[in-house]
């Protein structure tokens, strides 16, 4: 297991709270409870860097973490916890719109998808944000310990079709077995090194 130095750089509700950094940045986005925070913790081998397993939908901020002094991970609030809740949808887009439009060092998005669930409208909208920003897209397909390999592959292929993402951009991941973390790191590093 590789050692990574990671620390919280900033929590931002507004643009003026974004950290002043020139490091390449990747945003982790996904539905509430998909496993974003757990994945970030797993990638950096920390139990509680990102706030995992709290009441879903409670984190309303962009949380910026520096990793090894060379890359920034941004943990986005989970979306779609209460799809009927218009106010939180508006709040979410107010937070995320300017970030995708203006964050110059943003190199890619890791969309975190629960391997047991079909991507929904919110996931499609998230992929559209990344496309509009012309950044790379990776899909972390989480909780693979909870389904068989054949079911995982079937769900991955369906999810790839729904989202219009190449199957090769999907990385099956599990916080239980640490499946996928090394592969995801390789792909993250490739994205981070890419010139925009
Ligand atoms: N079995 C299993 N459980 C997981 C895995 N990843 C996450 N979980 C569990 O799923 C729940 C949600 O994980 P979080 O990391 O908090 O999800 P999140 O996407 O950050 O959620 P929000 O911050 O609310 O949007 C927690 O109870 C985790 O322990 C996994 O790979 N396998
Ligand atoms: Mg979280």
Domain residue limits, the chain: 6-193
Question: Distance, CA 27 to ligand 2 centroid (Å)?
Answer: 12
Name the pLDDT band for 49 (thresholds 50, 70, 90): confident
Q: Give the pLDDT score at 53.
A: 58
Q: Is 68 helix (H, G, I), strand (E, B) or coil?
A: coil
Residues with CB under 6 A from ligand 1: 30, 32-38, 52-53, 56-57, 59, 78, 112, 142-143, 145-146, 174-176
For ligand 1, atom 3, which residue shows the shortest CA distance? 143
Q: Flag whether pLDDT at 124 surpasses 80.
A: yes
Question: Distance, CA 38 to ligand 1 centroid (Å)?
Answer: 5
Euclidean distance between CA atoms 30 and 26, whole angstroms: 13
Instruction: Give the burial string for 67-76 (b: 16+ CB within 10 Å, else e).
Output: beeebbbbbb
| CATH assignment, 6-193 | 3.40.50.300
Q: Give the pLDDT score at 54.
A: 55
Residue 84, classified by CB atoms within 10 Å of its CB into exposed (0-12), middle (13-18) or buried (19+), is exposed
Model confidence, pTM: 0.93
Instruction: Give the burial string for 35-64 (b: 16+ CB within 10 Å, else e).
Output: bbbbbbbbbbeeeebbebeeeebebeebbb
Q: Give the pLDDT score at 23.
A: 96
Q: Flag whether pLDDT at 73 surpasses 70.
A: yes
Q: How confident is the prediction for the chain on average, in pLDDT?
A: 90
CA dihedral 85, 118, 129, 93 (to 10 degrees): 10
* Interval 146-157: pLDDT, tens: 999 999 999 999
Q: Give the pLDDT score at 126.
A: 96
For ligand 1, atom 10, which residue shows the shortest CA distance? 35
Q: Give the pLDDT score at 162.
A: 98
Q: Which of 26-40, 74-88, 92-106 has the lowest mean pLDDT?
A: 74-88
Question: Distance, CA 196 to ligand 1 centroid (Å)?
Answer: 31
What average pLDDT does this structure show over 90-99? 90
Share of the chain above pLDDT 90, in %: 75
């Amino acid at each position: 297991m590789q050692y990574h130095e990671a620390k919280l750089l900033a929590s931002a509700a507004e643009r003026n709270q974004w950290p002043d950094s020139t490091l390449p940045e990747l945003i982790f986005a996904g539905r509430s409870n998909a496993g974003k925070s757990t994945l970030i913790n797993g990638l950096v081998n920390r139990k509680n860097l990102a706030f995992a397993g709290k009441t879903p939908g409670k984190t309303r901020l962009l949380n910026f973490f520096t990793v090894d002094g060379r890359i920034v991970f941004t943990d986005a609030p989970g979306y779609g916890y209460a799809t009927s809740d218009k106010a939180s949808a508006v709040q979410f887009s107010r937070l995320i719109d300017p970030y995708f439009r203006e964050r110059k060092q943003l190199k890619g998005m890791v969309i975190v998808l629960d391997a047991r669930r079909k991507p929904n409208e919110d996931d499609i909208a998230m992929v559209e944000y990344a496309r509009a920003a012309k950044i790379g897209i990776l899909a972390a397909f989480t909780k693979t310990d909870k389904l068989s390999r054949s079911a995982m592959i079937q769900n991955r292929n369906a999810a790839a079709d729904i989202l219009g993402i190449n199957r090769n951009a999907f990385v099956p991941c599990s916080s239980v077995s640490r499946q996928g973390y090394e592969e995801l790191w390789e792909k993250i590093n490739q994205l981070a090194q890419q010139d925009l």
